[in-house]
């Protein structure tokens, strides 16, 4: 009997249960059945996922497809606007998603509501129309003559050029390929470069010009500049100078010359040049005289002109020598160029002016005993080549003493009758 008790007391103790088969959180799931957190009764296979940082359904992912989360939309192009057809619930912000669902093209960051429409084939502002009212829309002009410039009156806007159209406008005759803003103007009576003025039209087409008597006075030199007609009245000491209204002839301003013996005037936007024994320069802005320089023309002198800061004269460099076109620096008195004058002119008096178009206008009346002594107009470029010539009038009772070429008009002073004649071509 004692032996049996001793054997029973010596039996091995029972092993503790395996934890994976225990349900510590009493949620009905044991770790061995798939519970991934047996300390949390809300975590078990098949549980609803929430935005709480836990893998509540034990599928190895945290917070995927959470209940009660915001709906996010894919933003593949990163423009902040989402694809309304590609959405999913998610917990908070993250790359490639947005709460917006209004992007019309999630493959282009240049397309989103409120975007600036451009000529790029994309509906940038998501209004359903591509390239409408584009910020870089271009204006096109019909180019019927194919010279690369279109008629400005046929303007059309668009991102692409309509057939037969170009972007450059300004063609004043779209039926002639030789007429456009980049063409070279010439003395053919046509505005070849479409600048609104025909170079030499004033010079070459005065046969039917309207001749007006503008102003009376013993003027012996004229120049046009700064929108005014300048006239000189020698014989005083010093000589008198006047600024006249080119339309009415009214005196706007009068002032005295810086010296005596002037034989011409030249005017530009800023300066009035007065050649005599010396060349004087009057500043039209400050109304003051610059320092005088010696005139290289020491012989017979005719008219003068100003062109690009250079004083041009019809003169002889020494007594008895031939008349020349001379170009002088008014700041130094240096002789810059001399050009021959046609021998047929002899030593007849000649008046010279320029209207800023790189042409020199020369008028002359030959010495003659005939009843009719023609007053001629000759036009030269600054190389000395004659561009054109024309007889202005043949009245023996007119004596030339001054010339000025202005926009759309030629001014000649008739010293015999003390008047300024204005030649304006017919419009």
More confident residue, 104 or 410: 104
Residue pLDDT, tens place only, 14-49: 767 777 788 778 888 888 888 898 788 888 898 888
Is residue 102 assigned to a domain? no
175 and 226 both lie in a single domain: no
Confidence bin at 5 (pLDDT 50/70/90): very low
Mean pLDDT value of segment 155-174 = 92
290 and 389 both lie in a single domain: yes
176 and 287 both lie in a single domain: no
Is residue 276 assigned to a domain? yes
Residue burial 293-329, b: 16+ Cβ < 10 Å; e: rest: bebbbeebbbbbbbbeebbbbbbbeeeeeebbbbbbe
pLDDT(367) > 60? no
Residue pLDDT, tens place only, 70-102: 899 999 999 999 999 999 888 888 889 999 999
- Provide, rounded to the nearest whole percent, the portion of the chain with pLDDT above 70: 81
Alpha-helical regions (H) of 307-381:
none
What is the residue range of 158's domain? 137-182
Is residue 10 assigned to a domain? no
Q: Which of 151, 182, 213 is the last residue of a domain?
A: 182
Is residue 59 assigned to a domain? no
173 and 213 both lie in a single domain: no
Query: Could you identify the residue written with the tokens 């339309």?
Result: 247
374 and 299 both lie in a single domain: yes
Model pLDDT, residue 401? 75
Model pLDDT, residue 204? 54
360 and 407 both lie in a single domain: yes
Tell me how many domains the chain contains: 2
What is the residue-wise DSSP string for 182-202?
Answer: TSPP-SSSS-TT-SSS-TTHH
205 and 169 both lie in a single domain: no
Is residue 363 assigned to a domain? yes
pLDDT(2) > 70? no
Query: Could you identify the residue written with the tokens 């100078």?
Result: 241
Q: How far apart are CA 30 and CA 45, in angstroms?
A: 10
233 and 300 both lie in a single domain: yes
Mean pLDDT value of segment 285-306 = 90
Q: Under DSSP, is residue 33 helix (H, G, I), strand (E, B) or coil?
A: helix
Tokens of 41: 């009764």
Model pLDDT, residue 202? 52
What is the residue-wise DSSP string for 361-373?
Answer: EEEE-----SS--
How confident is the prediction for the chain on average, in pLDDT?
Answer: 82
Is residue 6 assigned to a domain? no
Is residue 74 assigned to a domain? no
Other beta carbons within 10 Å of 220: 21
Other beta carbons within 10 Å of 205: 16
* Alpha carbon separation from 67 to 36, 83, 398 (Å, rounded): 20, 22, 109
Minimum mean pLDDT range among 88-102, 168-182, 277-291, 401-415: 401-415
The secondary element (H helix, E strand) that includes residue 214 is: strand 210-216
Model pLDDT, residue 373? 65
Minimum mean pLDDT range among 206-215, 220-229, 297-306: 206-215
Confidence bin at 222 (pLDDT 50/70/90): confident
315 neighbors 301 (Cβ within 8 angstroms): yes
Burial zone of 370 (CB within 10 Å; 0-12 exposed, 13-18 middle, 19+ buried): exposed
pLDDT(347) > 70? no
pLDDT(344) > 70? no
pTM assigned to the model: 0.52
Model pLDDT, residue 389? 77
Tokens of 283: 């500043």
Bridge partners, 410 (sequence order): 405, 423
Confidence bin at 307 (pLDDT 50/70/90): confident
Is residue 354 assigned to a domain? yes
Q: How far apart are CA 42 and CA 349, in angstroms?
A: 119
Model pLDDT, residue 404? 84
Tokens of 99: 């709460």
403 and 368 both lie in a single domain: yes
Confidence bin at 330 (pLDDT 50/70/90): very high
What's the distance, Cα to Cα, between the start and end of the chain in Å? 154
215 and 320 both lie in a single domain: yes
More confident residue, 382 or 39: 39
171 and 243 both lie in a single domain: no
Q: How far apart are CA 362 and CA 380, in angstroms?
A: 8
149 and 232 both lie in a single domain: no
Q: How far apart are CA 162 and CA 154, in angstroms?
A: 12
Model pLDDT, residue 43? 85
Alpha-helical regions (H) of 17-139:
none
Query: Could you identify the residue written with the tokens 């003025």?
Result: 197
Residue pLDDT, tens place only, 251-293: 899 888 887 678 888 888 899 999 988 999 999 999 999 999 9
Residue of 348, 378, 353 lying closest to 365 (CA atoms): 348
Q: How far apart are CA 413 and CA 389, in angstroms?
A: 19
Q: Which of 149, 182, 215 is the last residue of a domain?
A: 182
CATH of the domain at 236: 2.120.10.30
pLDDT(200) > 50? no
């Amino acid at each position: 009997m004692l032996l049996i008790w001793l054997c029973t007391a010596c039996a091995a103790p029972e092993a503790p249960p395996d934890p994976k088969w225990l349900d510590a959180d009493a949620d009905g799931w044991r770790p061995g059945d798939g519970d991934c957190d047996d300390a949390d009764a809300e975590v078990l296979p098949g549980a609803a996922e929430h935005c709480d940082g836990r893998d509540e359904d034990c599928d190895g992912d945290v917070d995927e497809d959470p209940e009660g989360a915001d709906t996010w939309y894919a933003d593949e192009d990163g423009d902040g606007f989402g694809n309304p057809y590609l959405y999913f619930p998610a917990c908070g912000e993250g790359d490639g998603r947005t709460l917006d669902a209004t992007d019309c093209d999630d493959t282009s960051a240049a397309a989103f509501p409120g975007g600036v429409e451009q000529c790029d084939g994309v509906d940038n502002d998501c209004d359903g129309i591509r390239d409408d009212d584009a910020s870089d829309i271009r204006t096109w002009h019909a180019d019927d003559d194919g010279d690369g410039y279109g008629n400005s009156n046929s303007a059309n806007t668009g991102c692409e050029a309509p057939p037969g159209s170009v972007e450059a406008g300004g063609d004043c005759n779209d039926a002639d390929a030789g007429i456009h803003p980049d063409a070279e103007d010439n003395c053919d009576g046509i505005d070849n470069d479409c600048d609104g003025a025909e170079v030499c039209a004033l010079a070459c087409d005065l046969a039917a010009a309207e001749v007006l008597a503008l102003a009376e006075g013993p003027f012996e030199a004229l120049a046009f500049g700064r929108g005014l007609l300048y006239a000189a009245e020698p014989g005083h000491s010093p000589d008198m100078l006047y600024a006249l209204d080119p339309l009415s002839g009214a005196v706007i301003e009068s002032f005295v010359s810086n010296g005596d013996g002037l034989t011409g005037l030249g005017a530009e936007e800023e300066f009035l040049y007065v050649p005599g024994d010396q060349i004087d320069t009057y500043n039209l802005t400050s109304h003051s005289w610059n320092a005088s320089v010696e005139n290289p023309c020491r012989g017979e002198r005719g008219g003068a002109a100003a062109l690009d800061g250079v004083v041009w004269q019809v003169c002889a460099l020494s007594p008895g020598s031939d008349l020349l076109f001379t170009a002088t620096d008014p700041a130094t008195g240096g002789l810059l160029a001399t050009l021959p004058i046609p021998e047929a002119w002899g030593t007849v008096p000649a008046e010279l002016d320029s209207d800023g178009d790189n042409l020199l206008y020369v008028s002359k009346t030959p010495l003659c005993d005939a009843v009719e002594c023609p007053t001629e107009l000759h036009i030269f470029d600054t190389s000395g080549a004659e561009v054109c010539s024309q007889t202005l009038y043949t009245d023996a009772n007119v004596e030339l003493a001054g010339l000025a070429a202005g926009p759309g008009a030629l001014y000649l002073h008739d010293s015999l009758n003390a008047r300024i004649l204005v030649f304006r071509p017919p419009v």
